[in-house]
A and B are shown apart, each in its own frame.
Chain A
Amino acid sequence: MKKQVYIYRSFERFWHWTQAFLIFFLAATGFEVHGSFVFFGYKNAVEYHNIAAYAFIILIAFAIFWHFSTGEWKQYLPTFSNIKAQINFYLVGIFDNAPHPTKKTVLSKLNPLQKLVYFALKVLVIPVMVISGLLYMFYRYPQKGGIAGLNLDSVEPIALFHTAGAFALIAFIVVHLYLITTGHKPTTNLKAMITGYEELEEDKTEKSATPKEELKAETIEK
């Protein structure tokens, strides 16, 4: 039996969409700083990029707190079971209208490939971008204070890491935007991330939380 399930909570959706906007904006301003095109004007691009970067860092701080306080971080632990089946689904099964090999539930929202890719984003790409971005921002010239302790003679390695990360994120967005159409219907996943609700196969073994039930749970905790 299928049932409307509250799968993405309000903060999660807020985090997701703010992050999406910031990444697009950072990419636009960032590639202007990189010299790829002219749009905002160079000085504006740099200033906007820095402001958006601080906003992104604040968002990340909240997101980290949210992930740990809700236990959602466990969803991102990579697993290799079923990974072959998932790859098989995208390469073959999807064309034959085969069912998704992994079942989406509130406690396991991500398929094994998503787990792996999101995990890589969270522990590799985003940290590289944040760290190289902060170094870029606070880089001062040799022997002139700033982060002299790192003994970097040039902003070049910092900039190159930052650029490489940016390309990786863009490639991720391209594939991510496409793969959200591979839900039950092409718009299923998008709707879910906007409203929070998705029609899922009811799982008898798990308690599917609706906002009401969630509230109840909270009052019980109190």
Chain B
Amino acid sequence: MKKIVIILVVFFLAIVSVVLFLRTKEIRQPLTVQLKEKYSKKHIPSVDHSKFSSLQKNFTHPQEVTETCITCHTERHKEVMKSNHWNWEREEYVKGRGIIHIGKKNAINNFCIGVEGNEQSCSKCHVGFGMTDALTGYTDSTNIDCLVCHDNSETYAKGSEMGGAPDPGVDLAKVAQNVGKPKRTNCGVCHFFGGGGNNVKHGDLEKAMFEPSREVDVHMASEGVNMSCVDCHTSENHMMKGKMYSLSSMNRGRSSCEQCHTESPHEAAILNEHTLKVACQTCHIPVYAKVNATKTDWDWSTAGQLKDGKPFEIDDKDGNHTYLSIKGSFKWGKNLKPEYIWFNGTADHYLLGDTVSDTSKVLKINTLNGSYADPESKIIPVKVHRAKQPFDPITKMLIQPKLFADKKGEGALWKDFDWLRASDIGMTEVGLPFSGQYTFINTEMTWPVNHMVSTKELTVNCIECHSRNESRLAGLDDFYMPARDYSAVIDFSGKWIVILSLLGVFVHAGVRIFSASKRRKGN
């Protein structure tokens, strides 16, 4: 009987070891190696625009360039005119609001508040020319600025306060002959400087991303795979994948890590299980604003102080403004740990004219929806920008002040430093009532952090979240997370049961030793 069992066991172990030994190792290259190969290939354009005779001329207006583009690319302008780069708004469904258009015309932020009254300057980041104060000029296809995105000569630049027209010094013929696939510079010139300066808004998109090191961004590293923005933000008919939830509302057209890396990219199953509820960025972007600081706090209420009747500025040692008479006080942060929220891909926004019901709470300029219980939600890292911004306590509306004017006396805050008049004119311009009173309200804006992906060695460790006291996810308290969470009752009673058992054992042992020695003496 015993012999049979032993033979069976030995036989079984032999089979198992043979199977384990003969099992073929994965021959296919890991996905990351395949991806590296794919994106390291240099893009070779199929045409050389410098050889086209139609581009060998002196263009006097940028519109002429666009007309010339359209003679060959006969349908592309129609695509561009459907894009949000052109329209500055999207048609979106928002729960509670229905189908609406959200964009720079009706949204508000807690940086420079809005574009209204400042169109000539803001249109420096519009893919068009001829922007007027009334945000018109959206219908003429020759006003499309093809070059701002497709210039590969790196000599194109838009002029200041010119409604989106190029700087007069730009050699339009040279640029037109050197067009191609958008490079990092084309995107970065707008997206790295949003909010009026480098890295002001995003925190993870800034001029260091033109030529980042591997530590700053593993994908875009110049000495690495050197990917460009459009490698991930792919486009079809001029519709780019990816958007920012400072303005977007619906869960569509997003650019994601999974489109290349799949939903289970790790070797360890336990890490792949996390991807159900944790976005890639949460672990793979441990810090943002790695090179230059980003703005974290903007207090408009201190704006307007003058020195000898003149506006002034105060800078910190890195040269970041900490006070500007025209804008107020700022706080900056570098190498910041993100905050974390649940996000399901949908968002709501404060829109011009919305009234605030509860003014005691911090007003959320954009609300990213999500919760643990929502199956579509994942934990994502975000930058939260906090501000104190003008608010009408009677109408309960955020104030869009008139900020910019060419000269004094037109009521612009940045020239006259008069909040009351700037508010009055600003609100009139957007067609909203103003009570004649203003105050300042605390607001928050949430910016998902998606870039500056670190190398895998620098990934967030398990214990940075799975930790009693210092969890990165301390703020997300709607679910149970091992190591961070526990039942106070169970841990308390458990501990005491063990302590009392130990005490009981020691007391019992003590009495045993004592009585035994007494017995020995007695004997």
Interface residues, chain A, CB within 8 Å of chain B? 33-35, 38, 41-43, 46-47, 90, 94-97, 140-144, 153-156, 159-160, 163-164, 166-168, 170-171, 174-175, 178, 181, 218, 222
B495 and chain A: residue at smallest CB distance: A167
Q: Given A97-B519, A163-B487, A222-B1, is A33 in contact with B482 using a C-beta cutoff of 8 Å?
A: yes
Do B515 and A96 touch across chains, with their CB atoms under 8 A apart? yes
Interface contacts beyond A35-B486, A141-B276, A163-B486: sample of 17 additional A-B pairs, CB < 8 Å, sorted by A? A34-B482, A41-B462, A42-B462, A43-B268, A46-B462, A90-B508, A97-B516, A97-B519, A140-B276, A141-B277, A154-B479, A155-B480, A156-B480, A163-B487, A175-B505, A178-B505, A218-B1
13 contacts between A and B (CB under 8 A): A34-B483, A38-B463, A41-B463, A90-B508, A97-B516, A154-B479, A156-B480, A164-B490, A174-B505, A175-B504, A178-B505, A178-B509, A218-B1
Q: Given A46-B270, A153-B373, is A95 in contact with B515 using a C-beta cutoff of 8 Å?
A: yes
Interface of A is mostly: helix
B512 to chain A: which residues have CB within 8 Å?
Answer: 94-95
Do A167 and B494 touch across chains, with their CB atoms under 8 A apart? yes
B482 to chain A: which residues have CB within 8 Å?
Answer: 33-35, 155, 159
The residues in B between 464 and 521 inclusive whose CB is less than 8 angstroms from any CB of A are: 466-468, 479-480, 482-487, 490-491, 493-495, 497-498, 501-502, 504-505, 508-509, 511-512, 515-516, 519
A42 to chain B: which residues have CB within 8 Å?
Answer: 461-463, 466, 483
A163 to B467, CA, bound (A): 16
B495 to chain A: which residues have CB within 8 Å?
Answer: 167
Do A144 and B498 touch across chains, with their CB atoms under 8 A apart? no
Residue interface mask B267-280, A partner, CB < 8 A = 1: 01010010011000
A156 and chain B: residue at smallest CB distance: B480
A38 to B511, CA, bound (A): 37
Interface residues, chain B, CB within 8 Å of chain A? 1, 268, 270, 273, 276-277, 372-373, 375, 461-463, 466-468, 479-480, 482-487, 490-491, 493-495, 497-498, 501-502, 504-505, 508-509, 511-512, 515-516, 519
Q: Which 6 A-B pairs have the closest CB atoms?
A: A167-B494, A35-B483, A156-B480, A42-B462, A95-B515, A178-B505
Q: Nearest-CB distance from B491 to chain A (Å)?
A: 7
A97 and chain B: residue at smallest CB distance: B519
A167 to B494, CA, bound (A): 5
Q: Nearest-CB distance from B511 to chain A (Å)?
A: 6
Which one of B268, B497, B509 contacts A171 once the chains associate, using CB atoms below 8 Å?
B497
Do A35 and B270 touch across chains, with their CB atoms under 8 A apart? no
Do B505 and A35 touch across chains, with their CB atoms under 8 A apart? no
Q: Nearest-CB distance from A164 to chain B (Å)?
A: 5
Q: Given A142-B375, A156-B480, A168-B497, is A174 in contact with B502 using a C-beta cutoff of 8 Å?
A: yes
B464 and chain A: residue at smallest CB distance: A42
B462 and chain A: residue at smallest CB distance: A42
Do B497 and A167 touch across chains, with their CB atoms under 8 A apart? yes
A53 to B209, CA, bound (A): 47
A222 to B3, CA, bound (A): 13
Q: Nearest-CB distance from B320 to chain A (Å)?
A: 37
Do B468 and A35 touch across chains, with their CB atoms under 8 A apart? yes
A142 to chain B: which residues have CB within 8 Å?
Answer: 373, 375
Which one of A34, A43, A140 contacts B273 once the chains associate, using CB atoms below 8 Å?
A140
A95 to chain B: which residues have CB within 8 Å?
Answer: 511-512, 515
Do A160 and B501 touch across chains, with their CB atoms under 8 A apart? no
A174 to chain B: which residues have CB within 8 Å?
Answer: 498, 501-502, 505
Which one of B270, B462, B463, B490 contacts A160 once the chains associate, using CB atoms below 8 Å?
B490
Do A163 and B483 touch across chains, with their CB atoms under 8 A apart? no
Q: Nearest-CB distance from B268 to chain A (Å)?
A: 8
A222 to chain B: which residues have CB within 8 Å?
Answer: 1
Which one of A34, A43, A168, A171 contacts B486 once the chains associate, using CB atoms below 8 Å?
A34
B486 to chain A: which residues have CB within 8 Å?
Answer: 34-35, 163
Do A35 and B498 touch across chains, with their CB atoms under 8 A apart? no
Do A171 and B505 touch across chains, with their CB atoms under 8 A apart? no
A222 to B501, CA, bound (A): 49
A94 to B268, CA, bound (A): 54
Q: Nearest-CB distance from A47 to chain B (Å)?
A: 7
Do B270 and A159 touch across chains, with their CB atoms under 8 A apart? no
A6 to B522, CA, bound (A): 36
Do A170 and B498 touch across chains, with their CB atoms under 8 A apart? yes
A153 to B479, CA, bound (A): 9
A76 to B435, CA, bound (A): 84
Do A47 and B270 touch across chains, with their CB atoms under 8 A apart? yes
Do B501 and A171 touch across chains, with their CB atoms under 8 A apart? yes
B375 to chain A: which residues have CB within 8 Å?
Answer: 141-144
Q: Given A144-B375, A163-B486, A167-B495, is A35 in contact with B466 using a C-beta cutoff of 8 Å?
A: yes
A33 and chain B: residue at smallest CB distance: B482
A158 and chain B: residue at smallest CB distance: B480
A178 to B519, CA, bound (A): 21
